[in-house]
Every structure is written in structure tokens, then in C-alpha cells.
Amino acid sequence: MHFYFDESGDFGFPTDRFDCYTQAALACPDSRSDALQSYVEDRCREWDVEELHATDLADDQIEALCRHIASEPFVLTVTAFDTATTSAKGIASWRAGQADKIAEGRDWYSKQGEGSQAVIDHMISLEKRARFASRCSDGQFVQGMFWIDVIYRALQQSVIVYRDDSWRDDFGDFRFVLDAKLPGKMDASEKWLRDTIGPIVHSNPRHYSLALLDTWAEPPVHPFVEKYDTGVGVSVGKLLEGGFQCVDSRSEPGLQLVDTVAYVVRRAVLEPDNDAIQRAYHLLVPQLGSDGSPVHVLCLNERSEDALEPYAHLEATRTSDVVKPWGS
């Protein structure tokens, strides 16, 4: 199973206007991977572009991509957050809380008397990166932390959607691919995700456990259970032990399609009167809503009655309630 991840928006959190940011996942079964690649290569040749980068395409091309995505057995997951639900003040408070928790964990570890100095130094570095925007900007910190929610939801939805036995062979291995922001190295958000997703997931096994069909444990045991069951269920932590890759989107057709998904949902929020974009968005809704909520809105501020007002025109798609990520 292949999971592709990308975001839309600059995560600048301006104070003088409303802005929205999205993070998206696209799950593609191994058995559809070759078809995905062929489709993207064909579109690039037809449209004479090096890659399918949504910001460079016309709205009718975007709609055509969404129509194709809707025709494939992909699972889509999108998380949105904005300058109203996630303000600079809310981010600062959240970061301070995260830094304090890391410091508490470091102190406890150090007092055991058998701790590795390398581990203590690493925790000191994490605390500073959480506490100081000069080490990791607000936008980078939010991206790195919120990716954890997206990854978990993408995995859970894939288990639900691909529950039929016809998909058994697609559950042997899992590959997680993010669109690389920098050539040859990780940026601060990618480093934060790499360094924290394991500890966060492992320290919250109940929150990040996956709900599976009981029949998957019956003979013949489903390959997903056989490979990833920990004895008390399947944990996201075990699935992520191999880590994730940060790859140039030009070499990964799946990243080019998930880029379109993130872009369309963001524009659907910001441009309620754009008929072409609204049509493109609604083409994706069936694949976005496998868990009952096509778009999850994350919030770091106190919830208000008008928190979902910018998403009101998407009401027919059952936009989710505002939820808070782990640790907030």
C-alpha cells in the first residue's frame, strides 16, 4: 500500500486576513500503482508539462484530474486549519505546552541515572525546537505536528475501505511518501515529524490503535494482522517503524495527484463561488467521506460557534466538528 502526502498554502498565518491551509493523504493499493503512474505520465505528455502541479494548471484540467481520481479506488484524507481556528497566540501556547512536556520527560529520564547522554541531548534539542520559533517556525511546527493526525486517519480509512478480501495482497507492505520541500535534505517540519511521530504514537497506543475487522484474525489470517499485530491490536507505531520518505514530486506520480487533492480542498474553502473548483471538490467527496467527515478541521483556539463558518458552503458534505490534536 502506498500513502502519498502533500499540503497546500504557505502556512504564513497572516493577522490581517483569513487564510486556510490543508494537508492531504492519498492511499493507493499496490495493484493500482502502475495505472496511477501511466495516467500521470499520459497527462503530462498531453498537457506538455514536466509534472502535474496544481497551481500551474487551468481549472478545467484540475476538474479532469479530480474526475479521474474519483474513478479510482483511492482513499483520500484531508485536514484543514485556518487563521481563525489556529491563531499565532494559540500556536505559541501550544508550543510552550509541548516544550514543557518534553522537558518533564527529559528530567524524568535523567533522574533514572541510567539514561544515555545522547538521548538527553536529543530531548534538549527537541525542547528548544518546540519552544523557539527561531529553531522551527510556527508554520513548520504546525505542519510537522498535524501530519500525525493525517497519517493516522489515512491508515484507519484505508483499513475500512479496503476491507474486502480482494485487497488482501495490497496489505503486505506500506510505503509513506511526503513531497520534499528541499532538495537533498529535510526541512524543519519534516525533521520534527521524523523525530516526534514515533514517541507520540508509542506513548498513546490506545489513541493511535487501528480498528480492524474481527474476521481478519481468523484463518486464513489477513496479511495485515499477520505482519503488524502486536498481540493487543495493530498500532500505527509498528506500521511506521520503517519511517517515511521525502521525495521530489517530479519522480512520484502519486505526489502529483495528492497535490491536486490538497489544492482543490483549500480552494473550495476559500472560493465558494468558483463553480469549477466546487465541482472538482464534490467529485472527491465520496472518497473523502469514508469515515463520515470529508474534511477535518483542527483547532488550537477555544472553540467558538462560528469556528466552521468558513466551511459553511461545504455543509452538505458533513464537514466535521473542530477537533484538537494530541497534546493540545
Residue pLDDT, tens place only, 11-33: 999 989 999 999 999 999 999 99
Sign of CA dihedral 95, 82, 161, 243: negative
Q: Is the Cβ–Cβ distance between 22 and 277 less than 8 Å?
A: no
Cell of 136: 522551527
Angstrom distance (rounded) from CA 5 to CA 76:
10
Ordered per-residue pLDDT tens for the chain, 328 residues: 999 999 999 999 998 999 999 999 999 999 999 999 999 999 999 999 999 999 999 999 999 999 999 999 999 999 998 988 888 888 888 889 889 988 888 888 888 776 688 888 888 999 999 999 999 999 999 999 889 889 988 999 999 999 999 999 999 889 999 999 888 888 999 998 888 888 787 777 777 788 888 889 889 999 988 888 877 677 777 788 777 899 999 999 999 999 999 999 999 999 999 999 999 999 999 998 766 678 888 887 766 667 778 887 875 444 444 444 554 4
Separation between Cα atoms, residue 142 and residue 136, nearest integer Å:
10
Its pTM stands at 0.92
Burial class (CB in 10 A: 0-12, 13-18, 19+), 262: buried
